Copies of this chain bind each other. A is one copy, B any other.
Amino acid sequence: MNPSVLVVEDDRALCELLTWNLSAEGYQVRSTGDGEEALLMVQEQHPDAIILDWMIEHVPGIEVCRQLRKDKETAQIPILMLTARGEEEDMIRGFKTGADDYVTKPFSPRELLARIEALLRRARPSLAGSVLQWGDIELDVTSHRVRRGGEALHLGPTEFRLLRYFMERPNRVVSRQQILDGVWGMDSDIDERTVDVHIRRLRKAINRANDTDPIRTVRAAGYAMDVS
């Protein structure tokens, strides 16, 4: 699944330029020119990153940023602030509010793309190299291969996505609903218990005799994959 980016920009020409460039790089792009709408869009489907103009309608960009940071669900989404002003004070304020990067117009699209990529690399480790690691487990994102201690493992598609989901979020406890959203997709009406079953299948597939189980069950909360 390609990373998704939300563009919040009310200059239509610029918005289209950004959308086009990002799409060309393979991102899934959605856009809006309205701050309030942006918040709703983030709520309903968390993007992997947000490009946020400072001067937009209804709600100023910095306020959008503040709102997003306040909510635990959205606090970790990387935000790149975009502004016409070159004033230092604004930039400092942007960073203090929780922005991760700050670009002033006019900017080069390629620079913006590079910066977005850098942000995503931080937030989603799978984009850094194509190989994720956990102890002796290696997961190659591009070739869809998983190995443990050099030996190839066979995982079903869902198990693969599930394992990848965990490896991208080391140490983090995720609820069954979050897992469903992330692995099955936002709009799946699948029973939460089904997650348990797939967790078992995943465990069975990756744990050979006397391997330590990387997946920790957290009662009443979900599951997590701890760093080894």
List chain A positions with a Cβ less than 8 A from chain B: 72, 75, 78, 88, 91-92, 95-96, 98-102, 108, 110-111, 114-115, 117-118, 121-123, 126-129, 133, 142-144, 156-157, 171-173, 218-221, 224, 226
Contacts and interface: CB of A to CB of B under 8 A. Distances in A.
Given A108-B88, A224-B143, A95 B78 contact: no
A173 B143 contact: yes
B91 A129 contact: no
A109 to B, nearest CB: 10
Q: How many copies of the polypeptide does the oligomer hold?
A: 2
Contacts of A142: 171-173
B95 A115 contact: yes
9 contacts: A78-B122, A99-B118, A100-B122, A101-B101, A102-B114, A127-B171, A144-B173, A144-B221, A144-B224
Contacts of A117: 95
A110 B201 CA distance: 52
A157 B220 contact: yes
Contacts of A121: 98, 100
Contacts of A128: 75, 98
Contacts of A219: 156-157
Given A96-B114, A220-B157, A221-B157, A143 B172 contact: yes
B91 A111 contact: yes
Nearest to A142: B172
